[in-house]
Structures are given as C-alpha cells and as structure tokens.
Amino acid sequence: MRPTVHDIAAEAGVSLATVDRVLNNRPGVRSVTRNRVERAIATLGYVRDVAAANLAKSRSYPLVFILPSGENAFMRGLESELRFAMSRSAAERLDITILSVPAFDAPALAAALLDARKRRPAGVAVVAVEAPEVTEAVKRLCEDGVSVVTLVSDLPGSGRDHFAGVDNVAAGRTAGSLLGRFLGGREGPVAVLAGSMLVRDHRDRLEGFRAVTSEDFASRQVLPVIEGQDNPLLVEKLVGALLERNPDLAGIYSLGAGNRGLIAALEKAGRAKSVCTIAHELTPHSRAALLSGTIDALLNQNAGHEVRSAIRVLKAKADGLPVIAAQERIRIDIFLKDNLPLEQE
Amino acid sequence: MRPTVHDIAAEAGVSLATVDRVLNNRPGVRSVTRNRVERAIATLGYVRDVAAANLAKSRSYPLVFILPSGENAFMRGLESELRFAMSRSAAERLDITILSVPAFDAPALAAALLDARKRRPAGVAVVAVEAPEVTEAVKRLCEDGVSVVTLVSDLPGSGRDHFAGVDNVAAGRTAGSLLGRFLGGREGPVAVLAGSMLVRDHRDRLEGFRAVTSEDFASRQVLPVIEGQDNPLLVEKLVGALLERNPDLAGIYSLGAGNRGLIAALEKAGRAKSVCTIAHELTPHSRAALLSGTIDALLNQNAGHEVRSAIRVLKAKADGLPVIAAQERIRIDIFLKDNLPLEQE
DNA sequence: AGATTTTTGATTTACGTACATCAAAAATTC
DNA sequence: GAATTTTTGATGTACGTAAATCAAAAATCT
C-alpha cells in the first residue's frame, strides 16, 4: 500500500498537523522538525495523492486558450479538437475559456493576453505571433505566476514555459529531403510558397528547406519565395503565374496554408502530376489532393495531440509536477497516399 | 459547479441512498423511482467524479503486461518504457506486473496468459503470437471480464478489446511507396528481409509492400523474401549472400528486426550508399545508420506511445469509459536523417 | 524565573463518492 | 385489514488530503 500522511507522521514521530505544514510549506516548523519529516517522506517514498488533494481543495484548472479566428482549416480543426477536449473535461476539473483573435494581428493578440490575465487562470495557451508587444504580454503573464504554453507557433525569448508544436526547421528539412529524393535526377527549378515571413513557423520551415537543399541537392535551383498570406484566392493567382513563368518547374514546397488555391492552380494548368508537390497540414482538401496524386506528400502536425499536450503541460505546471519531454514532443507526421488515416479522425 | 450526488437527490426528490442505489445499480429501487433519478442525472448533466469514486473505493488497477524476452532492441525499449510508466504510476493507482515469455513461443505465451488470469487483473496487455492456443487463452480472459489489449502485434478473432499498435499493412505500403519513389528510374531488383512469416505484423507489412509495388511500380522486380528470424548474425549472413548474388540490387526493405546484421552486411560489401534501404524501428544502431546514409528511411512505432495508450485503454475499459479512437491511434513515424528526434528520447 | 514568542499537537470539517446499517414508509400479499 | 415484503430514508464511516482552530508544550528573550 502507498504510504499516507498518517504513515509519515508516525515515522517522523510528529503530528499530522506538522506533516501538513511541511507538505504545504506553511510557516511555524523548526528546521530540525522539518528535516525529520522530509526524511520520513524520503524513506517511505511518499507521493502526494493528487486526486485526493484536488478533491480536498476542490481544485479546478482554469485555463485560457487564445486562437486565431478566420477560415484557416488547420486552426478551425485545432479549435474543434479543443472543444472536444472541453466536452470531456468534466472528469478532469478543467475549466477552459477560448478567446478568438484575428490572425496575424499582434495588437489584438496582446490585448487578448491582457484579458486572459484578468481572469486569473492557472495557465494560458496561445498561438503566438512574433511581435514585441506580444512577447511583453507573455512575460507579464509569466511574472504573475501563470504558466504559458505557446501552441503551433512559438515565441522565443518570452519566457513561456513550453512550446506545444513541431520542430519547424526539421519539418522544412524533411520537406526538402523528400522533394529532392522524389525528383531524383529530374531537371528544373523548385518553388517555395509561404504564408507570411512574419510568422515564426513559416520562417523556420523555409530555413530548414533551404539548408537541406543547398547541402544535399546543391545543383537544384530554388526560385524566390512566394508569399500567399495563407489566402486561397491569392495563392491560386500567384501559383498560376508561377507555373506560366516556369514551364520547366519540377517541384513546389508549400509551407503555409491556402492549399486549396495551390491545388486549383496546379489542376487548372494540367500540371498536377508533373510538378512534385509537398505541402503542410492534413485537411479535407489536401487529403483529396494527396489521394488523387496532385500532392505527393503531406507534412502534418496533429492538432488533437497538440491540444491534449498543451492541456497536460498546463495542468502539470499548475501542480508543480515535471513534464515528460518525450511524451510531449509533437512529431511531424509524413503522409503519403499509403498511410493516410481514416477520414473520421 | 459540477452537480454532485446531492444535487441529483434534491432534483429527483429522493434520498442520497436511493441515488447511490441507482448509480451503482444496487437492487431495491422501483422502476418509477429509478426513472426519476435517471432523468435528474440527465437534466443536470451529472458525471460521476471518478477521482472521488476511486478514492472512496480505494480502487487500484492491477494490470499484467506480457512481453517477449530476448535481445530484440525494440522489445527492450518497450519494456523500458513500461518500467518508466510504472515508476510514475503511483499517482494513477496502477499496479503493473510484467511477465516475460520467450519470443515466438506460443505454448509459453498461452501459459503466461493463464498465469495472468490467476492474478485476477483488471486488464492484460500482450504482445501476441498468432496461434490457436494463444487465441483460446485470450478468449478465456475476455470471458472472465478481463480487458485484453494486444500490443505491437495483433490477434484477430480472439475477441481482444483493443489493439495498441500500428497499421502494418499501411506501414508496408508506405515503405514500398518510399522505396519506389527514391529509386525513381533506377534499374535493378529489390529485396525484402523479414523476421518470420509466423508473426502477424511481418505478414501484414509484406502484404502492403507487395501491393503497392505491383500497383505503382509494376516493372520493379521483387526478389523472394528472406527470413532472418530477427537474428542479427543470421541476417548478416543472408544479406551478405544476397548482395553477392545480386550485384545490381537497387533496394532493400527490412520489415523485421536484426538491423545490426543488415547494416554490417551492407557496409562490409561497400554497398551502403548504392543500395537504397528502408528499415523498421529506431534504435541506436538504426539511428546511426540513418545518419551515415546506410539506411535511407526508417519506419518507427513509438514504444512509449504504445505503452501509454495500452494503459489508458485498459484503465478506461476497467472504468467502463469509452476510448477516444483518434487519440489511441498509433501512428507510423517516418524518419529521414532530417527529422530524427534527439538522442535522449 | 517569569514573560513572551514560536513551535507542535489534537481535533474538526470538508471535498464527492461508496457502502453498510437500521428504521420508516409504502406497496404487496393473504 | 392485518401481516408480509419491498422500497426508501436517515445516518454514519471511510478514502487521503487540505485547512482551520485552539490548546499545550517548548524554545527564546528579558
């Protein structure tokens, strides 16, 4: 049987009240006595029963999630995963509030962070936009003792506790490697289509892609980056022009969103099969394109995992428990038409 | 605030004792009363506080894990993940016992299942070997009301509750697809190296590999399967002979274990770079070979995830709770040298 | 030594559920 | 309508921890 506070009291030869004072470091315990209790804890291998403690405290975990609004399919998937987690959160004493903020809008995001702060949550998860005012707001939260997890897009230098997202440099490298190997000896330049260079994850992916291309496929020409603002219509226009300008285009790496435009442009130009295409994020559109062969490989981050990981980490931080790094690492999924999971997920 | 049993009693106009009788379906409640309580539960949206209930019951979850012994690196990794999960299981009321059984030994496995049964656990996780006696033993456990999860290798037709492992047909297809595309227009046959055709996962992988090769790369010749019994020494010998027989060999798909022998044979023959190699499972040896270029891609199943998933599922089954399929799907990791996670994991 | 402060003990209530007991009320049977 | 059975209520204890109160003991200071 696991030892309880009573066992510690007996072992240390003190009263329950004193054990409680030590465990919850309340004042009024001489250091000799404190030591005795701590020794008892160590020898018996006592571990606080978090469930019982939470019950006694009627503890709940008020969390705030800040997500971008807009029609970005990945973000909407993220939100739906979050709502699902909320629906079954009853058993976990979670009390989650969602705040929506226009995408790429740093002032609005900073304001939302201040709003979140007023609610005195135990933790905040935020899809970060890299801007000084956002960094500042996150810093403020951390100083207040609120745990902060960045979600999908990181915010280095803000003091956030954890990043729940993929290694985007590695993602870019992987895309470059796959594209290079899929093309083999085939001639022609490759293009990179990004959303915006203002977001950290896109910059990281580009960096990784360029690095691996120059290391391993030095002879391959990489055309200047196209920024499609994650907007399908704009993307379609820009890719259409790109295809016209480059009749010998061998491959495209689309590292942002707006894949609907990319797919449309490729198919309209009749180049769906001849241009090797690697894109990000599994959505109904990109899934269909992968199956039809318009897209050759998809890199994906599992939104459900990211949400659950963020919640786990925030809870652990609130309880002062350690985080298991290996468990919280969000992996880069690589999907070919052959290992696509079933639709319903 | 979440409603409690007291709220239900008030709402239904009955006593706490009656609510308790309904909730834990004890006898002695007229169906009219029962209905009234159930309606109250529904309208208030009551969900039993599992933590409090477990506390009151002093419930624990006695689980048995049955793993193959031997020096298979993946299995040892699995066991170490399991031990790690056990070490931090104090807070989760888990009481896990590990049984070791010689690999590929159906009678021993069946005996271990019977042994497990005697311990009256809440659940059993087992790395299955496909044999009638094993299927029979699993069936028996299920009939006793013990939840059974197959781990890594499945056992269809046994009535097991869940399979915690990857879709091995999809894994084989993915390997075939990658190998085909990496080889591009290059000439030469490819070879398949398996452990044993007696294990389900190996058979599934082979099936997937063959299917995709004949669908998408019909002109590519696939040599007869080599069975290396997951034994590094035997594998090295067999692959050495294979390389000698086929100087024009373009690729190898190793779908089992014993990669150490494969790597040694390729490097000894000086064909490490010229033969495109795809293998399974990330181990220190395979990791090094991926980084050096001897292996071109690794398919991996994350042992930590499998263990944690098996535990979660067994717990959920023991509590009569539903399993979230999307969360429990074990994905096939594809590692290139570019997206290899850091060593310590 | 006496007064004062600090430390410790003893005890109680609470969290939400499980489970047991005994008495009271209601329904059923004869 | 009385006797019997079934159903329901009232109450208490337990699980392991948190948190509070008040008294007792010990340490510190003057």
Q: How much is the pLDDT for B88? A: 78
Instruction: Give the CATH number of domain B59-165+303-330; options: 3.40.50.720, 3.40.1080.10, 1.10.357.10, 3.40.50.2300.
Output: 3.40.50.2300
Nearest residue by alpha-carbon distance to C1' of D13: B56
CA of B28, C1' of C28: distance in angstroms: 14
- Three-class SS of A191-209: EEEECCCCCHHHHHHHHHH
pLDDT at B332 exceeding the cut of 60: yes
Tell me if A135 sits within 8 A of A160, measured CB to CB: no
Would the CB atoms of A338 and B47 count as touching at under 8 Å? Answer: no
Would the CB atoms of B329 and A345 count as touching at under 8 Å? Answer: yes
Name the closest residue on chain B to residue A297, using Cα atoms: B178
Q: How much is the pLDDT for B199? A: 83
CA of A145, C1' of D14: distance in angstroms: 37
The CATH homologous superfamily of the domain defined by B168-300? Response regulator (3.40.50.2300)
Q: How much is the pLDDT for B133? A: 96
CA of A30, C1' of D26: distance in angstroms: 11
Cα–Cα distance between A109 and B51 in angstroms, integer? Answer: 36
Considering only CA atoms, which of A129, A170, A126, A131 is closest in space to residue A151? A126
Nearest to B336 among A90, A177, A184 (CB): A177
Q: Where are the extended beta strands (E) located within B113-267?
A: 123-126, 147-151, 162-164, 190-194, 226-227, 251-254
pLDDT band for B113, please (50, 70, 90 cuts): very high
Q: What is the pLDDT of residues B270-322, one digit of tens each?
A: 999 999 999 999 999 999 999 999 999 999 999 999 999 999 999 999 888 88
The average confidence (pLDDT) of chain B is: 94
- Dihedral, CA atoms, B278, B283, B285, B290, nearest 10 degrees? 40
Q: Which bases of chain C come closer than 7 Å to a protein CB? A: 6-12, 14-21
Cα–Cα distance between B280 and B285 in angstroms, integer? Answer: 11
Q: How much is the pLDDT for B109? A: 96
User: What would the mean pLDDT of B58-80 be, rounded to a whole number?
Assistant: 93
Tell me if A46 sits within 8 A of A22, measured CB to CB: no
Q: Where are the extended beta strands (E) located within B83-197?
A: 94-101, 123-126, 147-151, 162-164, 190-194
Size of interface A-B (CB pairs under 8 A): 104
Interface test with A, best of B214, B309, B338, B340 (most A CBs within 10 A): B338
The average confidence (pLDDT) of chain A is: 94
The dotted CATH code for A58-165+303-330 is: 3.40.50.2300
Q: How much is the pLDDT for B251? A: 98
pLDDT at A87 exceeding the cut of 90: no
Binning chain A into helix, strand and coil, the percentages to the nearest 5 are 50, 15, 35
pLDDT at B70 exceeding the cut of 90: no
Q: What is the pLDDT of residues A33-77, one digit of tens each?
A: 999 999 999 999 999 998 999 999 988 899 999 999 988 889 999
Whole-number percent of chain A with pLDDT over 90:
84
Q: How much is the pLDDT for A245? A: 97
Q: Which residues touch strand C (CB under 7 A)?
A: A 13-18, 21, 27-30, 32-34, 52, 55-56, 58; B 1-2, 4-6, 16-17, 20, 23-24, 46, 48-49, 52-53, 55-57
Q: How much is the pLDDT for B344? A: 55
Distance to chain B for A135, nearest Cα, Å: 28
Distance to chain A for B172, nearest Cα, Å: 9
Considering only CA atoms, which of A138, A131, A134 is closest in space to residue A159? A138
Interface test with B, best of A291, A338, A340 (most B CBs within 10 A): A338
Considering only CA atoms, which of A114, A115, A160 is closest in space to residue A139? A160
Nearest to B327 among A182, A212, A304 (CB): A304
A31 touches strand D (CB under 7 A): no
> With contacts defined as CB-CB under 8 Å, which chain B residues touch A88?
324
Q: Which bases of chain D come closer than 7 Å to a protein CB? A: 6-12, 14-21
Q: How much is the pLDDT for A319? A: 83
Architecture of the domain defined by B5-48: Orthogonal Bundle (1.10)
> With contacts defined as CB-CB under 8 Å, which chain A residues touch B344?
325-326
A168-300 shares the fold of A58-165+303-330: yes
CA of B142, C1' of D5: distance in angstroms: 39
Q: Between the CA of residue B260 and those of B254, B268, B294, what are the distances in Å?
A: 11, 12, 11
CA of A56, C1' of D19: distance in angstroms: 9
pLDDT at B345 exceeding the cut of 70: no
* Residue B326 vs residue A44, higher pLDDT: A44
Tell me if B97 sits within 8 A of B130, measured CB to CB: no
Q: How much is the pLDDT for B342? A: 81
Nearest to B170 among A171, A178, A339 (CB): A339
Domain ranges of chain B: 5-48, 59-165+303-330, 168-300
Q: What is the pLDDT of residues A148-197, one digit of tens each?
A: 999 999 999 999 999 999 999 999 999 999 999 999 989 999 999 999 88
pLDDT band for A344, please (50, 70, 90 cuts): low
Distance to chain B for A74, nearest Cα, Å: 16
The size of chain B, in residues, is 345
Q: Which of A249-263, B27-41, B89-103 has the lowest mean pLDDT?
A: B89-103
Considering only CA atoms, which of B332, B194, B187 is closest in space to residue B251? B187
Cα–Cα distance between B329 and B87 in angstroms, integer? Answer: 24
Considering only CA atoms, which of A84, A2, A10, A79 is closest in space to residue A46? A2
Q: How much is the pLDDT for A304? A: 94
- Dihedral, CA atoms, B179, B180, B185, B189, nearest 10 degrees? 80
> With contacts defined as CB-CB under 8 Å, which chain A residues touch B181?
181-182, 296
Would the CB atoms of A338 and B90 count as touching at under 8 Å? Answer: no
Q: What is the pLDDT of residues B127-161, one digit of tens each?
A: 999 999 999 999 999 999 899 999 999 999 999 99
Tell me if A230 sits within 8 A of A196, measured CB to CB: yes
B90 touches strand D (CB under 7 A): no
pLDDT band for B11, please (50, 70, 90 cuts): very high
Say if residue B111 is exposed, middle or buried (CB neighbours under 10 Å; 0-12, 13-18, 19+).
middle
The size of chain A, in residues, is 345
Please give the full DSSP string across B61-98, using - where no structure is assigned: EEEEEEEE-SS-HHHHHHHHHHHHHHHT-GGGTEEEEE
Dig out the tokens for B98 from the structure: 């590990």
